């Protein structure tokens, strides 16, 4: 999401990764007086960014720590990372609306929602959202480290919030475009950012905290969608947002969910192809791939409740329980008959689920995802009846 001549989120991420790595290897640089506050040499930050994007070294050019921090800020200039059309922003919008600077609990809650935003972006499966998540986490991680040296650099969490994190909510994470709300947001952003900087959530780098790739979980999508709709409906009922904005946000949510369901569909098809390859290339590797076993059960080799080769499933024609479907992450049964990710039984009967299903339903892929119709390799894979 690029605005004006600014850098893309992906370019900014490369800058953040390179500079964060250098600062983590040389933590004494963060002891420098006025770090994150004092200005850089105006010519150096663009040079640093240019060298990083061209994969050239920048550590041997004598740049100061202020130049390096300046490069971080330069990479974010005119760079809108998230705006109000992104459904992930809804809980943060609601949290900031409820912040009272004299109420410590409301400030702590908003700071926790910032972390929730990062976690949801990291789990979204979207390349841009993942880049934004890492940028936000890395910026908070670096300011958190700098705050630990406040006796040396004279930069308290509040000072760091004013100099670095606070401006994010005015320039890069667009919570509102209303001028009056922007004025109040300025006063709220500083204490919330200072609270976030002090959190031990940012003791570790993004890579260390998210060392495993997050798998797409259909239940998480439905739960997040329902929560966002609740927040949105609550804001409309309290006249925080007008009906026109509400309609626009619902449309944005529907587009986001459709994109993610398409990604799940592609992932499911890929899993089905892998299962088909296993059953066709290794007919004697497991009981479920044996023609005699499949004929006795009346199903195809790939219709076993579990796709894991480590288990020893007994061929059966009984339906697979919903819980066991979710316990196998690579199961091809991600989508219901209506093309919508399956939810847990307690949520599937809810009015919100039904309304969302009717609003956001998308067509299934051209290839049926039922296990009996699993695609097979052309090189000899046969379907058993």
Answer yes or no: is pLDDT of 249 > 90. no
107/248: higher pLDDT: 107
**What is residue 65's predicted lDDT score, i.e. its pLDDT?**
97
**What is residue 342's predicted lDDT score, i.e. its pLDDT?**
42
**What is residue 303's predicted lDDT score, i.e. its pLDDT?**
41
**What is residue 271's predicted lDDT score, i.e. its pLDDT?**
52
**Which of the residue ranges 165-169, 236-240, 243-247, 259-263 would you say has the lowest mean pLDDT?**
259-263
Residue spans of alpha helices (H) in the chain = 9-25, 44-53, 65-76, 90-97, 104-122, 127-147, 150-153, 157-160, 168-171, 179-198, 206-209, 218-237, 243-281, 291-297, 322-327, 345-348, 351-360
Question: In whole angstroms, what is the distance from residue 313 CA to residue 305 CA?
Answer: 7
pTM exceeds 0.95, yes or no: no
Question: In whole angstroms, what is the distance from residue 149 CA to residue 166 CA?
Answer: 20
Answer yes or no: is pLDDT of 187 > 70. yes
Which of 56-60, 283-287, 296-300, 368-372 is most confident? 56-60
270 — pLDDT class (breaks 50, 70, 90): low
CA angle 234, 239, 244 (to 5 degrees): 95
Region for 369 from its dihedrals, namely left if φ exceeds 0, alpha if ψ lies in -120 to 50, beta otherwise: alpha
Phi then psi for residue 13, to 5 deg, are -65, -40
340 — pLDDT class (breaks 50, 70, 90): very low
Q: How many residues does the chain have?
A: 385
Which of 121-125, 273-277, 356-360 is most confident? 121-125
**What is residue 29's predicted lDDT score, i.e. its pLDDT?**
96
327/183: higher pLDDT: 183
Question: In whole angstroms, what is the distance from residue 198 CA to residue 270 CA?
Answer: 43
Helix (H, G, I), strand (E, B) or coil at 335: strand
304/75: higher pLDDT: 75
Answer yes or no: is pLDDT of 10 > 70. yes
Question: In whole angstroms, what is the distance from residue 9 CA to residue 81 CA?
Answer: 7
Average per-residue pLDDT for the chain? 73
Percent of the chain with pLDDT over 90: 40
CA nearest 285: which of 302, 271, 273, 297? Answer: 302
Q: What is the pLDDT of residues 140-165, one digit of tens each?
A: 999 999 999 999 999 999 999 999 99
Answer yes or no: is pLDDT of 69 > 60. yes
CA 369 to chain centre: 26
177 — pLDDT class (breaks 50, 70, 90): confident
Consecutive H or E run containing 1 = none
């Amino acid at each position: 999401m690029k605005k004006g001549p600014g850098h893309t989120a992906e370019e900014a991420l490369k800058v953040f990764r390179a500079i964060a790595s250098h600062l983590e290897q040389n933590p004494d640089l963060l002891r420098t007086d006025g770090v994150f506050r004092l200005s850089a040499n105006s010519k150096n930050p663009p040079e640093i960014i240019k060298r990083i994007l061209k994969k050239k070294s920048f550590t041997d050019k004598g740049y100061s720590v202020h130049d390096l921090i300046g490069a971080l800020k330069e990479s974010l200039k005119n760079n809108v990372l998230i705006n109000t059309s992104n459904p992930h922003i809804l809980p943060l919008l609601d949290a900031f609306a409820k912040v009272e600077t004299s109420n410590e609990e409301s400030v702590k809650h908003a700071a926790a929602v910032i972390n929730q935003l990062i976690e949801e972006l990291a789990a979204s499966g979207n390349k841009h959202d993942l880049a934004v998540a890492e940028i936000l986490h890395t910026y908070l991680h670096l300011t958190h480290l700098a705050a630990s040296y406040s006796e040396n650099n004279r930069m308290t969490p509040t000072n760091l919030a004013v100099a670095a994190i606070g401006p994010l909510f005015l320039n890069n994470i667009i919570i509102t475009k209303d001028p009056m709300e922007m004025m109040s947001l300025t006063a709220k952003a500083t204490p919330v950012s200072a609270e976030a900087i002090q959190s031990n959530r940012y003791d570790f780098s993004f890579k260390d905290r998210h060392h495993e790739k997050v798998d797409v979980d259909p239940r998480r999508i439905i739960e997040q969608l329902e929560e966002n709709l609740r927040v949105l409906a609550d804001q409309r009922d309290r006249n925080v947002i007008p009906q026109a904005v509400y309609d626009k946000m619902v449309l944005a949510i529907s587009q986001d969910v459709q994109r993610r369901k398409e990604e799940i569909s592609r992932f499911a098809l890929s899993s089905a192809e892998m299962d088909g390859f296993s059953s066709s290339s290794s007919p004697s590797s497991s009981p479920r791939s044996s023609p005699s076993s499949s004929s006795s059960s009346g199903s195809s080799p790939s219709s076993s409740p579990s796709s894991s080769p480590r288990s020893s499933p007994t061929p059966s024609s009984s339906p697979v329980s919903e819980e066991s479907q979710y316990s196998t992450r690579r199961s091809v049964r991600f989508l219901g008959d209506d093309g919508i990710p399956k939810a847990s039984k307690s949520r599937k009967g809810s009015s919100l689920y039904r309304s969302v299903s009717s609003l956001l339903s998308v067509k299934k892929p051209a290839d049926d995802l039922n296990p009996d119709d699993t695609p097979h390799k052309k090189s000899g894979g046969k379907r058993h009846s």
